[in-house]
Chains A and B, each alone.
Chain A
């Protein structure tokens, strides 16, 4: 079977070829291109900045060490995320329990004003645009806290779908699960997230 070249982002493809040829500058460009997205996804799943930094480093090391195996059958982005997300999930499953207390301590979001604004947003069936919420750090912290309180698998699927905007098929490939599992897990994750938010508010 021929690789699905249509899946390869051209600039990624060129970068990867240069990296495979030993071009260290290309390697640096590849890391720079994806570091924020990978770090953000890892952070939202593991919920801890230090762990996220370490896991992102490890993920890139594995990506680079296995770059010669990448043949473009899926997009580089999906392949790289698969490595990073699975690394993070394994780490989180090994960790006895995320210390949500310390995570909460890092976050703000305890002001009554922020809670009221979010309550109103959730209760008002006419308001749909959360732009104002996104600009308020305390309200964002409340949302992050609700995400942190999800199960690891639910966090991962929320991050891949709602932060990374991946389609269900991509998520299924990354998490190595059936499409039906993606649908049911995402539905449960969003329902639990709402419950978490209501509990916090």
Chain B
């Protein structure tokens, strides 16, 4: 069987003119001495010729105008062009290096925070400030060292703001105040989904399309995370559910998927390893954030227990392949195109999608 496959590959390469001189001579000798191989070669040549005989279909008339109109619309909307250049590999390498540097700096900042907590003049829980950066998807960068200092300065300021305003994401004052409060549950579901795959390019392109198709708004990532394959989503729970359902169609392309659900307590995120699309949607769909976190904890425990049981892989495959996640259906007869949902804050979710290349 294997020999037959190898022979087919050799014969195909021969008829396609993809062999070097030595291999060509070998194949010619084979063909002269073995009529069966010669017959197989003829079969393959015929298949190739049949496909080549299919006439070229002409593009529909008006295609050029349609393209121009589409370009105009996009320039009016100001949509970002997608990245399709030849330096993808080099850029990924650059970003990997940049991320490594950023990670070292981040570690230094965290350590500085810890040292400051121990030896500093006040017993402010600085770790919470750093953690809050992470909650807002900001990995500390060299520039953030100054910002960190300023936040600490705010803590010691006599005029401390009276109320945390989580909605004002860019407000330094609000953040500093929030950091002073006791750990509380996040206002909305907030988490990070790590998709580990050897098919980075394909998965990345799929995710981009799914985001666009579902009209999901992306929040600008901090500098340290503007690498390829990281997307910061803000959308309604329903839209997130549809997006996850889209992802479920390529779940078999992932080596593993991990969901990290933020609990509002520094260092106590719930990590759900080997999570399935169905489990993610169940967690996101919970009526309030407390229940989401509780379900995430239970799911994490369940997955940890079942991962080594016989038949686990089969069960996961079954879930993905045989029980596809139904997409929410509009029942009001509203057939309007998908747009960014306008819903109240508790209905919104924050989700960072990170595609990790395992190749």
Contacts and interface: CB of A to CB of B under 8 A. Distances in A.
Contacts of B56: 36-37, 40, 163
B68 to A, nearest CB: 8
Nearest to B249: A94
Contacts, number: 170
Contact of A147 (B39, B51, B55, B83): B51
Given A57-B70, A143-B54, A66 B59 contact: no
Interface string A91-115: 1011010000000000000000000
A137 to B, nearest CB: 9
Contacts of A65: 71, 74, 81-82
A74 to B, nearest CB: 6
Contact of B84 (A66, A74, A96): A66
B79 to A, nearest CB: 9
A85 to B, nearest CB: 11
Contact of A128 (B49, B63, B74, B83): B49
A197 B209 CA distance: 34
B8 interface: yes
A125 B18 contact: no
Report the contact-size class of chain B (Cβ under 8 Å from the partner): 35 or more
Contacts of B249: 93-94, 96
Contacts of B59: 35-36, 38-40, 53, 56
Interface stretch (B93-101, B133-141, B198-206, B260-268): B198-206
Interface of B: 5, 8-9, 12-13, 16, 18, 39, 42-60, 63-64, 66-68, 70-71, 74, 81-87, 201-202, 205-206, 209-210, 246, 249-250
Interface of A: 28, 31-32, 35-40, 43-44, 49, 53, 56-58, 60-66, 69-71, 73-74, 79, 82-83, 86-87, 89-91, 93-94, 96, 118, 121-122, 125, 128-131, 133-134, 140, 143-144, 147, 158, 161-163, 165, 167-168, 176, 183-184, 186-188, 190-191, 193-194, 197
